[in-house]
Amino acid sequence: MSDRSPDRWAQRVVHREVTVLAVREPGVLDEIRALVPLDDFVLAVISDTRLLIDPSRTGELHDLLATAGVAPLVQRARGQLTR
């Protein structure tokens, strides 16, 4: 039996007030990068189609995308967060 503590990456963590930019195809992120400095807003890469965006700069990114002619769909999570 091991006395090691559980792997910290295996623990469930709930974050509130996060911004995720999600696209259907990975190439869309490259297209967005060609229009705006997207990587300046990214805190982490979740997958090849999802980026964690700095929530304090969401409005700024939205405005840049709108100016570039990209209309992002903005959705808020609803309901209770469960453990």
Q: Domain span at residue 47? A: 17-67
pTM: 0.72
Each residue's pLDDT, cut to its tens digit, for the chain (83 residues) gives 455 556 666 666 666 778 889 999 999 999 999 999 999 999 999 999 999 999 899 999 999 999 999 887 777 766 555 54
CB hemisphere CA count around 40 (13 angstroms): 11
Q: Is residue 43 part of a domain?
A: yes
**Chain center to CA of 82:** 20
Q: Is residue 49 part of a domain?
A: yes
- The CATH number for 54's domain is 3.30.70
Position 77 scores a pLDDT of: 67
Q: Is residue 56 part of a domain?
A: yes
Position 26 scores a pLDDT of: 92
Q: Is residue 3 part of a domain?
A: no
CB hemisphere CA count around 11 (13 angstroms): 7
